[in-house]
Amino acid sequence: MKLIIHGGFFSESSTNQETKKAKQDALSQIVTFGYEYLKSHTALETVVYTVSLLEDNDLFNAGIGSQIQSDGKVRLSASLMDGKTEKFSGVINIEDVKNPVEIAKNLLNYDDRVLSGEGAQLFARNKGFEYFNPITKQRQSEYEAKLNQQNNKGTVGCVALDDSGNLAAATSTGGKGFEIPCRVSDSATVAGNYANQYAGISCTGVGEDIVSGALAAKIVTRVTDGFTLKAATDKSFAELKSFDGFAGVVGISAEGEIYHCDSHPYMVWASFDLNLQVFS
């Protein structure tokens, strides 16, 4: 059993060590809860549970505390991939919900598995997900001061390998902040979140770069074709260099290899693999 999570990038522009420490503490607590949960649940159930805990923590840019788009609205994106069935589901730019990853989980059982905007919201309401305003005072004042034009990232993600050897990945984001309304993030695409029976990957960083690099799907495909997770990730990150792609990933392979990598300082992450590790 293995579990790895990320809390996006710790903003280079921020020198606030207190926030950094708070994020590390939150990650270590959440990965510990997640690992405990994994002992009696599948990888798929665990990534949904763990990402929902991350969404509920306003230190991260997912669920409550998400970044605000240029028109003053929060639009959330989240996805889920079950490595066992190779099914992907997600919501893109959904408004006024608490846990978009739970809605992605609901969609996994449908033929139409990725919904956007109003359609996603209607689906969520029909499934009983109530109105929730994810804007915090902090995000509102940052928005008003236009402070987070300076790259304050903090998407969340999780990859799990369960006792039966199955992998799953989930990723959730509020986007880049101040983007053109309805800009599509990588987080609910196969570039930002991908898993099969060989590996699972969750990404963070600049969505456009992650999509250009087809990052998560590319790394998982390389592992499927025989690369180790580290070799697959390092090669895919080397390919980001030609356009100075800004990205970070966490991953696990079916062999139990856990790996994380970032192109720029510093993605915050934590893993649980018998012992807890928390780094940034």
Residue numbers at the binding site for ligand ASP (CB under 6 A): 8, 61, 153, 155, 173, 175-176, 185-187, 204-207, 210
Please report how close the Cβ of residue 211 comes to ligand ASP at its closest, in angstroms: 9
Please report how close the Cβ of residue 156 comes to ligand ASP at its closest, in angstroms: 9
> How far is it, in rounded angstroms, from Cα 204 to Cα 268?
10
Q: Which residues contact 125 (CB under 8 A, 6 or more apart)?
A: none
Nearer to ligand ASP by Cβ, of 33 and 178: the residue is: 178
Catalytic residue among 50, 155, 171, 189: 155
Tokens of 214: 């087809």
Please report how close the Cβ of residue 78 comes to ligand ASP at its closest, in angstroms: 11
- Contact between residue 62 and residue 155 where contact means Cβ atoms under 8 Å apart: yes
Q: Give the number of other CB atoms < 10 A from CB of residue 133.
A: 11
At 241 the three-state DSSP class reads helix
Nearer to ligand ASP by Cβ, of 46 and 79: the residue is: 79
- 155 a catalytic residue: yes
Please report how close the Cβ of residue 175 comes to ligand ASP at its closest, in angstroms: 4
Nearer to ligand ASP by Cβ, of 68 and 210: the residue is: 210
> How far is it, in rounded angstroms, from Cα 249 to Cα 275?
20
Please report how close the Cβ of residue 226 comes to ligand ASP at its closest, in angstroms: 28
Position of minimal CB gap to ligand ASP: 207
Nearer to ligand ASP by Cβ, of 28 and 69: the residue is: 69
Nearer to ligand ASP by Cβ, of 75 and 98: the residue is: 75
Please report how close the Cβ of residue 157 comes to ligand ASP at its closest, in angstroms: 8
> How far is it, in rounded angstroms, from Cα 276 to Cα 30?
11
Instruction: Please state the length of the chain.
Output: 280
> How far is it, in rounded angstroms, from Cα 186 to Cα 107?
18
In terms of Cα–Cα distance, which of 127, 124, 105, 123 is closest to 41? 105
> How far is it, in rounded angstroms, from Cα 68 to Cα 126?
25
Residue keyed to tokens 């599509």: 184
Q: Could you give the C-alpha distances from 256 to 35, 67, 140, 260, in angstroms and in order?
A: 14, 34, 41, 13
Alpha-helical segments (H) within the chain: 17-38, 43-55, 100-107, 117-126, 137-145, 207-212, 215-224, 229-238
* Cα torsion 184, 187, 192, 194: sign: negative
Nearer to ligand ASP by Cβ, of 79 and 173: the residue is: 173
Q: Which residues are catalytic?
A: 155
